[in-house]
Amino acid sequence: MTKKDLINSGKVKSVFTTDNDDEVLIEFRDDMTAGDGERKEVMSKKGSYNAVISSKIFKVLEDGGVKTQFINLIKTNEILATKLEMIPIEVIIRNIATGSLVRTYPIEDGTPLNPPIVQMDFKDDEFHDPMLNDSIIKALGIATQEEIDTLKDLAFKVNDILKEFFDDAGIILVDFKIEFGKDKDGNIVLGDEISPDSCRLWDKETFEMLDKELFRKGEDDKVMEAYVEVYNRIIPDEDKAKFDL
Ligand code: 5GP
């Protein structure tokens, strides 16, 4: 496998072509951003921790029957993945009310949500990722009703699998954001990453934050400690021995 041309450089990841037209290489950089990219810092090894954590989570989801774009971890910060045409929707699942939900609606921070909330935001920095509904998605021509239903079903399935996976590691999966794309046959496949950048994760005993919310709050010195804690809890020791992290 050869890493070739840069085709997309996002806020924290870069996507490259490879010698196989159906595959891409995703490089996880050490950049960390908040507020639509307004604040940006570099956190040493963050890219590697996120790539390893995301690879593990995608393998757990594949084992649970969710089709993902993940093929292989090439280096600690590089993933080989199936090439997808990404759907510009951020699918968010919330198990506990916090973040933008409690800033927007009259619901107390920390309220358990049963059933969980599924929310869809338009992935567009210029418009500040506004919340969508089924009618708006169809009016904008982003997806059909059948595709919207598939995205929601898959998001709930991801939630069921990951709530249990994180619970076994002593972590509460508070909420998370996922993205999907279509493969060359038109199948909807889970893409992008699932990491402490895209989830809210709380320690089950202390409710301490183990995710990017620390950066959003300006507690930059605690960020990598939290990411390493998630890594230590979910990556088996025999796998850790393979990574120089
Ligand atoms: P909220 O809407 O409360 O800010 O975020 C809900 C969940 O989705 C959180 O877990 C948050 O990390 C994730 N999330 C929402 N928007 C984004 C985004 O643009 N990028 C990333 N990485 N995660 C997001």
Instruction: In whole angstroms, give the CA distance from residue 42 to residue 45.
Output: 9
Report the run of H or E that residue 172 belongs to, with start and end: strand 171-182
Closest CA to ligand 1's atom 12:
198
What is residue 62's predicted lDDT score, i.e. its pLDDT? Answer: 98
Range with lowest mean pLDDT among 34-43, 164-173, 204-213: 34-43
Residue 158 pLDDT class (50, 70, 90 cuts): very high
Report whether residue 83 contacts ligand 1, using a CB cutoff of 6 Å. no
What tens digit of pLDDT does each residue of 202-229 get?
Answer: 999 999 999 999 999 999 999 999 999 9
Residues with Cβ < 8 Å from 82, sequence gap 6 or more? 22, 23, 24, 69, 71, 183, 189
Tell me the β-bridge partners of 173.
201
pLDDT for residue 105: 98
Q: Measuring from atom 20 of ligand 1, which residue has the nearest CA?
A: 198
Name the closest-CA residue to atom 22, ligand 1: 198
Q: Is the pTM of this model over 0.95?
A: yes
Closest by alpha carbon to 225, among 237, 214, 238? Answer: 214
CA dist 214 to 32, 46, 122, 166, 199, Å?
A: 11, 14, 24, 19, 12
Q: Is the CB of 78 under 6 A from ligand 1?
A: no
Decide: 210 in ligand 1 pocket, CB within 6 A: no
Q: What is the pLDDT of residues 94-134, one digit of tens each?
A: 999 999 999 999 999 999 999 999 999 999 989 999 999 99
Nearest CA owner, ligand 1 atom 16: 177
Ligand 1 atom closest to Cα of 36?
19
Q: What is the pLDDT of residues 195-208, one digit of tens each?
A: 999 999 999 999 99
Whether the per-residue pLDDT at 35 is higher than 90: the answer is no
Mutation to probe ligand 1, out of 96, 118, 198, 212 (largest number of atoms < 8 A from CB):
198
Q: Tell whether the model's pLDDT for residue 37 goes beyond 90.
A: no
Q: Quick one: average pLDDT of 155-173?
A: 98
Cα(145) to centroid of ligand 1, in Å? 24
Position 57: which residue type?
I
Confidence of residue 171 (pLDDT cuts 50, 70, 90): very high
Distances (CA, A) of 75 to 59, 72, 238: 16, 9, 17
Residue 2 has pLDDT above 90, yes or no: yes
What's the gap in Å between 19 CA and the centre of ligand 1? 33
- pLDDT bucket at 38, cuts 50 / 70 / 90: confident
Ligand 1 touching residue 197 (CB < 6 A): yes
| Helices 223-234 and 46-63: angle between axes, nearest 10 degrees | 30
Backbone angles phi, psi at 96, to 5 degrees: -135, 140
Going through 83-153 in order, the beta strands assigned E by DSSP cover 85-86, 89-96, 112-122, 131-132
Per-residue pLDDT, 244: 83
State yes or no: cis peptide before 115, omega within 30 of 0.
yes
Query: Residue 232's pLDDT is what?
Result: 98
Distance from C-alpha of 134 to C-alpha of 186, rounded to nearest angstrom:
20
> What pLDDT does residue 1 have?
85
% of the chain at pLDDT higher than 90: 97
202 lines ligand 1 (CB under 6 A): no
Apex CA 158: angle with CA 230 and CA 155, to 5°? 125
